[in-house]
Amino acid sequence: MYFDELSEIAFFTPMKKEVNRLCILTGYATPNMASWLMKNISERLRSEKIGKEIDISLIVGMVPFDGLSVAVHEGFKELQTSTLPEHISKFVCSYVYGKIPVHTKIYIWLKDDVPVMALTGSANFTQISFSSQRRENLIECNPLEAYQYYSKIEGETIYCNHSEIEENIVLYPTHPVLDLENNPLKDFGIGGVEKVDLSLLNSKTGETHRTAGLNWGQRKNKYTLKNGEVRYGDRNKNESYIPLPAPIARSGFFPLNKQHFSVITDDKHHLILRIEQGKDKAITTPMSNALLGEYFRNRLGLANGAYINRADLESYGRTDVTFYKFDEEQYYMDFSSCK
């Protein structure tokens, strides 16, 4: 039975074997965990120069018992349409929607349709279950029997992006703000909800960053040829990040160590973010650094890849964003115009 380093045992060591599919059956799951796993599998395979593509299928089993939060559901739907990281060929999420909920947790690795390895135990497919913040366990089990059970449950599921999904599952708001039809409340300080304001401007110049922050993608990509010649090429000009001052990074407001967290925006979009770069100075969209830039350029009414000036932000009516923290994985981001 395994108690420590469960992510290594369940995901990163098995992926090096002759496998190309991961099937997960779990009582509870979060899109943050799915995003974190795909990004880390991609980075591990790339760094170890293992050339393979992996399909991931996820079944969330306890939906008939207590429904699903709006934020979690929207997060899974977003992952279905997002550009997947390198080495991840497919991600599919389904919910059990019959009368009987499923509390089982099984992680099965396959080579095509042949089960190779399986683990079962107490760990749900959430970041906290695979971190040091909670004691969980996994134990190896018969992979064929595990896959037969997974396949049986699979017949009782519905895809998270099915057109009739809301007729088959119950969705709940994760916080009253998610139920508001009108503009969100402007001061969540009342009621104990923590908040921080983050400037989108360069603190030294008072302007937007030239090749950082919202204009991160405007920098050139430096690379070296085999003959030693150095060349520069264009990056995706939508690449962006929200600058994170060191005092706030150290305050504990945001999760560090590359944990992923969900953000619902004031215009009802769902983003999965994480803290990156040296000294934890940047809030990014880990699935693609360009997603955040596309979001802001759309809000500002600019073309994809456009350079963002301070004048663009002032014309819109906002040079900062406000984050509200509900818990370690759920946040709200307000970029509504102050005009």
In this structure, the answer to whether residues 226 and 150 fall within a common structural domain is no
Q: Tell me the C-alpha distance between 257 and 280, whole Å.
A: 9
Q: Any idea which residue has 């060349």 for tokens?
A: 231
Q: How many domains does the chain have?
A: 2
Q: Nearest to residue 335, comparing CAs of 286, 265, 288, 242?
A: 265
The 3-class SS string of 71-85 reads HHHHHHHHHHHCCCC
In this structure, the answer to whether residues 254 and 330 fall within a common structural domain is yes
Q: Nearest to residue 296, comparing CAs of 275, 274, 320?
A: 320
The tokens describing 191, both together, are 């009621």
The domain boundary residue, chosen from 140, 172, 204: 172
In this structure, the answer to whether residues 218 and 142 fall within a common structural domain is no
In this structure, the answer to whether residues 23 and 155 fall within a common structural domain is yes
Q: Tell me the C-alpha distance between 271 and 75, whole Å.
A: 7
CATH number for the domain harbouring residue 129: 3.30.870.10
Angle at 213 (CA atoms; ends 259, 258), nearest 5 degrees:
10
Contact status, residue 46 vs residue 86, Cβ threshold 8 Å: yes
Does 159 reside within a domain?
Answer: yes
Does 1 reside within a domain?
Answer: no
Residue 245: the pLDDT is: 95
Residue 238: the pLDDT is: 92
Residue 227: the pLDDT is: 60
CATH number for the domain harbouring residue 245: 2.40.330
The tokens describing 212, both together, are 């950082």
The tens-digit pLDDT sequence of the chain (339 residues) is 888 899 999 999 999 999 999 999 999 999 989 999 999 999 999 999 999 999 999 999 999 998 888 888 988 998 988 889 999 999 999 999 988 999 999 999 999 999 999 999 999 999 888 987 778 999 999 999 999 999 999 999 999 999 999 889 988 875 443 333 333 444 444 346 789 999 999 999 999 999 999 999 988 665 555 566 545 556 789 999 999 999 999 999 999 988 999 888 888 788 999 999 988 999 999 988 899 999 999 999 999 999 999 999 999 999 999 999 887 788 889 999 876
Residue 152: the pLDDT is: 96
The HSE-up count of residue 103 (CA atoms within 13 Å, CB side) is: 3
Give me the domain span that covers residue 304.
194-334
Residue 158: the pLDDT is: 96
Residue 234: the pLDDT is: 66
